[in-house]
Every structure is written in C-alpha cells, then in structure tokens.
Amino acid sequence: METITVKTSNRCQMIDVTDRVQQAVQQDGIKQGFAVCFVPHTTAAVTIQENADPDVLHDVLWKLDQLIPQRESAYRHSEGNSDAHLKCSAVGVSQLVPVQDGRLVLGTWQGLYFCEFDGPRSRRLIVQCVGR
C-alpha cells in the first residue's frame, strides 16, 4: 500500500495523479491485477476523467458548483463546507483500475484525478495494489 500526498492550492480543483498512481503500481511490482485508489477524506474525492483538454476539468467543477453551490441557506452543517461533503459523495472516494503488464489500463483520453472540494489542504490518496 502506498500513500500519495496531494497538496491543493484552491478551494475546488482537480489534480492529475495518474503518473503518481502508476509509480505506486511499479513500486509494488504488480504485473496483472488492479489498483484501488481511495481518498480518506469527507470533502475530497477521486475520479477518472478526460486528460487531454483542461476545459473538461473546468466544466466538471463549474457544473458541480451549479448543482451544489457553496452557499445554500438550507445547509445545516455549521462549518460552511456542506457543499464539499455533498460533492465528495456525488463523485466518490474510490476508483478501481485494472493493471495489465505493469501498467494502469486507462482509455486513450483518461486520467485519474484527485478532486479537492474544501482546500487548499494537504491530502492523502491511498493506493492498494492487488495482483501478481
């Protein structure tokens, strides 16, 4: 198991962690199996998204903000980050990625993204590799 530290610089952002997860797979020596990526936070997430056009990341964050705004009078949580908790639940805290021949199996345009919804912070992404 590897723990990747992700330092975020904005309240909401998506950071490409594909290469860092690939390094974890190589360090574990897995040739065939899968990598479980898990975010142990309640206001951050991990997803697979397009990694060719940065406008896609902008659009994802923009739409999440429209659907789940930061300021909402009906929120009861007193810390002021209810939207971050909801965005985390909507996106999810884990991804399962196949590994073949020691490489993550992702589509041509896919990358793994750490999603920050309550930054800036220092966060963790846990990668557990299973296989042979």
- Average pLDDT of the chain? 96
Domain count for the chain: 1
The percent of residues in the chain predicted with pLDDT above 70, rounded, is 100
90: pLDDT confidence band, cut at 50, 70 and 90? Answer: very high
Average pLDDT over residues 24-43: 97
65: pLDDT confidence band, cut at 50, 70 and 90? Answer: very high
Q: What is the CA radius of gyration of the chain?
A: 15
| Distance separating alpha carbons of residues 91 and 101, to the nearest angstrom | 29
Strand order in the sheet with 44-50: 13-16, 110-116, 44-50
Q: What is the pLDDT of residue 74?
A: 87
| Structural element, H or E, at residue 114 | strand 110-116
Domain carrying residue 105: 2-131
What CATH number did the domain enclosing 59 receive?
A: 2.60.120.460
The pLDDT tens digits of the residues spanning 104-122 come to: 999 999 999 999 999 999 9
pTM: 0.95
Provide the token pair at 122. Answer: 């220092």
Q: What is the pLDDT of residue 113?
A: 98
The residue behind tokens 């345009």 is 109
> In sequence order, what DSSP letters do the residues of 10-34 get, joined into one string?
SSSEEEE-HHHHHHHHHHHT-SEEE
Average pLDDT over residues 71-93: 93
The pLDDT tens digits of the residues spanning 40-50 come to: 999 999 999 99
